[in-house]
Amino acid sequence: MTPAEMEARIVRYGDLMPCKTAFIDAHTPGSDQKENFTIIGGGVSESADQHVHIQDTPGFNIGAAGQPPKCRNSLHSHRTAEVFFVLKGRWRFFWGRWGTAGEVVLEEGDIINIPTGIFRGFENIGTDYGMIMAILGGDDAGGGVLWAPQVIDDAADHGLVLGENGKLYDTKKGDALPGGVAPMPLLGDDVLARMPEPTTADVVPHYVARYWDMMALADHQPAPVIGPNAMLRDRPGFDVDFITRGSLEDAMMTRDCHTILMPMRGHWRLTWDGGTTALNPGDTCAVPPGVAHALTPAMTGEASCFRIVSNDDPAGPTMPL
């Protein structure tokens, strides 16, 4: 690959293009300042305004959410994996029909593999603008978002209607549902009654990994974070490893699968047969199959990076609670 070809597969943090109208709660007070970023794949945005940086998907999607303090993402559910790690700030994740079944606070570098089939939300409880990076299972990211009924009702009070076609219509701007398109139906009581309400004790030990634990476990080899034999045991259609300067492979490595590199701390030097470039916290690099490459810290100090690789596992529900 030439340097230009590789650069086309890197999304720089400073080049991320936000969408402020991505979801149905974009006008709801308390959620109306959030920004959605679609980095690799189409993601789950409901807005035609969403910019997609890299269209091709490696079997999963990469995105991000940026929010100012006290801004909340409303309760929703997914059919495939939704994994977040905190890049900047301090975040509270909560879940359940009304968001009261359990919660956990994550700091920078912590990661959560939220169980499928439960309503979940998150809010920035820090003092500055925060950013969380996301991995969504499946080429189509599970087909979209399932919203808690009260979220759809609240959105209608503020002018946004979600069509059954998955698209948003802003009635305050004069939009109306096209002919033949009905509003997205609310989930029925029978469906809601079947959705689990796991406690914090059910979720945190099995679905949350802390940054400094991963740093310790990656002292001599990459630490498997999500996978069948990892810290968080799951088969979501991708594997997540955590690497530090102590766990780096010495030689150039070639994989027959897609490799996504997402630096968390420090500055990294990516080298391949054709060039070299720097990767920095918040950058996302999609190395295609068959390209030999090596990753090394570019300077001294703390260095950590999440590495996501595609596999043959089908995207689907997380392992049972």
pLDDT in tens, 125-184: 999 999 999 999 998 876 779 999 999 999 999 999 999 988 999 998 899 999 999 999
Residues contacting 160, CB < 8 A, separation 6+ = 24, 25, 26, 27, 28, 168, 169, 170, 171
Do the strands 232-233 and 223-227 form a parallel or antiparallel pair, or are they unpaired?
parallel
Phi, psi of 154 (to 5 degrees): -65, -40
pLDDT value at 33 more than 80: yes
CA of 216: how far to CAs of 10, 219, 222, 242, 245, in Å?
Answer: 28, 6, 10, 10, 12
Percent of the chain with pLDDT over 70: 99
Residue of 312, 317, 316 whose CA lies nearest to 58: 312
Q: How far apart are CA 231 and CA 205, in angstroms?
A: 10
Residue 4 vs residue 144, higher pLDDT: 4
Q: What is Dmax (Cα atoms) for the chain?
A: 61
3-state secondary structure of 84: strand
CB contact at 8 A, 67 and 73: yes
Q: Supply the pLDDT for residue 320.
A: 75
pLDDT value at 44 more than 90: no
pLDDT, the chain, mean: 94
CA of 298: how far to CAs of 64, 302, 306, in Å?
Answer: 25, 11, 16
Arithmetic mean of pLDDT, 18-31:
94
Residue 8 DSSP symbol: T
Question: What is the DSSP secondary-structure string of 254-272?
Answer: --SS-EEEEEEES-EEEEE
pLDDT in tens, 254-281: 999 999 999 999 999 999 999 999 999 9
Q: Supply the pLDDT for residue 49.
A: 87
pLDDT value at 250 more than 90: no
Cβ-in-10-Å burial (0-12, 13-18, 19+) of 60 comes to buried
Q: Supply the pLDDT for residue 150.
A: 96
Strand partners, 167: none
Residue of 112, 143, 136 whose CA lies nearest to 207: 112
Structural domains in the chain, sorted by start: 14-208 (2.60.120.10), 212-310 (2.60.120.10)
Arithmetic mean of pLDDT, 34-41:
96
